[in-house]
Amino acid sequence: MPLRLLKLGERAQLLALGLVTLSGLALGSACAGKKFTAQPGSSESGNGSGGANAGGDGTGEAGASGSAEGGSSGASAGENGGDGASAGSAGKPPVACDCRAGEYCQDGTVNCRKCADFSRLEFGTAQKLNTLAQTPQNAERFARPAGNVGSQLFYVSGAPDKAKILYAAAPMSGVGVPVTLLTQVESGPLLVNGYTDQNLFFDRLQAGGRKLMMASWSAPAIVMNEAFVPEPINASGVDDYSIAISPGTGHVYWMSTRSGKPELFWLPTSMSPPPDPAVLDLKIKAGKNECPRSGDDATPWVNTAGSVLFFRNPSVNDNCQANDAGATDLFAAPLNSDGTVKAAATALSSLNVTGGASRETDPSLSPDSCTIYFATDNGSGDFDLYKAQRK
């Protein structure tokens, strides 16, 4: 059966591709045999994983003031995932732009570009979110937008065996507050605006491993109506974690060990019944080579329109061999409208740090797509949260 593809301008079709509602799910067992199906919502779908509604699949559309630089195919970045410390402005003289909301000033020019255009992905100097940083034993990770507008964030804090999801209404003013019981070990928060019942997704450590959960959340309340994400996303006897959802297309991406090792799976929920989950055919550019995705957790994030996938991968050289023991880099891959990968992913070289086993991880975009959030340990083993503006 063919996929029912979405035209982003048609509101009724957008609502029809909501992932799930509470009425279609049973609380309790993660693997109770109930198939995972798409259910309509009753409100306008907002920012699926924190991103803004993207323009076409990386078309290179210029901003309102035009651009002297044509957009390149796919997401732009360095050729080598292991190369590329912060690029800076390469000696270009400072200029000023009069850009509108949802635009950024292209570095070294007076051209405004739309933040929803992902054909060019360059970022300025990353700034540490100092107010959210705690002790080295409380590593901060997975900063994810917690609304359609503004800077409020979900994030994870704590050692791996004590990690908790927190909500910060004003991240620049102080630490967040827990959103679930302190006895739970959780990670990977994802708010999907527009879903009428369960709109907060995350993974939780269970007796049988990590399982994906969903719950109802509205600021600043504690989550309610918790339930396991049903089959075929959760599967019996394996780990399922790190979910990413594009409500505009009904595509779901997540990590699972169901094939015997950690793999990035995906599922189009616009089919009824949905097909079996499949491993996403995702490769990264490394010099002239294309290397297969690797690592135990891609920490994926996808924008609302489903046109670009951000993720982490072990840093590799031009021969697809690991750089810097344990180092990871950030990447972005353009997606087709059917949820498959359009081209090999490119490294976000203006953010990735070379040398010292630095681990960059957990990328996501702000509601307007003008700011990226991510975590890095800068080679120290202590993760902190950072943000950087498009440039």
Q: Strand pairing partners for 112?
A: 105
- Whole-angstrom Cα distance, residue 323 to residue 200? 35
Lowest mean pLDDT among 55-59, 200-204, 347-351: 55-59
Give the model confidence (pLDDT) of 263-305 as tens digits.
999 999 887 888 899 999 999 999 999 999 999 999 999 999 9
pLDDT tens profile 16-36: 334 443 223 333 333 333 444
Q: For residue 318, give the DSSP letter.
A: T
Task: Read off the pLDDT band of 95 (50, 70, 90).
Answer: low
Do 216 and 200 meet the contact criterion of CB atoms below 8 Å apart?
Answer: yes
Q: What is the per-residue pLDDT for 92?
A: 54
State the architecture of 11-54+123-389 in CATH terms: 6 Propeller (2.120)
Cα 86 to chain centroid, rounded: 21
Amino acid at 331: F
Of 63-72, 141-150, 165-174, 252-261, which gets the smallest average pLDDT?
63-72
Residue 13: is its pLDDT beyond 60? Answer: no
Closest CA to 213 of 193, 229, 199: 229
* pTM of the predicted structure, to 2 decimals: 0.79
Report residue 52 as tokens.
Answer: 């803004």
Instruction: State the Cα angle at 141 between 137 and 147, rounded to 5°.
Output: 135
Chain centre to alpha carbon of residue 142: 9
The arrangement of strands across the sheet holding 360-365 comes to 127-128, 384-389, 371-376, 360-365
pLDDT digits (tens, 9 = 90+) for 147-178: 888 889 999 999 888 999 999 999 988 889 99
86 confidence band (pLDDT: 50, 70, 90): very low
Alpha carbons within 13 A on the beta-carbon side of 125: 5
Domain spans of the chain, in order of start: 11-54+123-389
205, 30 Cβ separation under 8 angstroms: no
CA-closest candidate to residue 153, choices 332, 373, 308, 304: 373
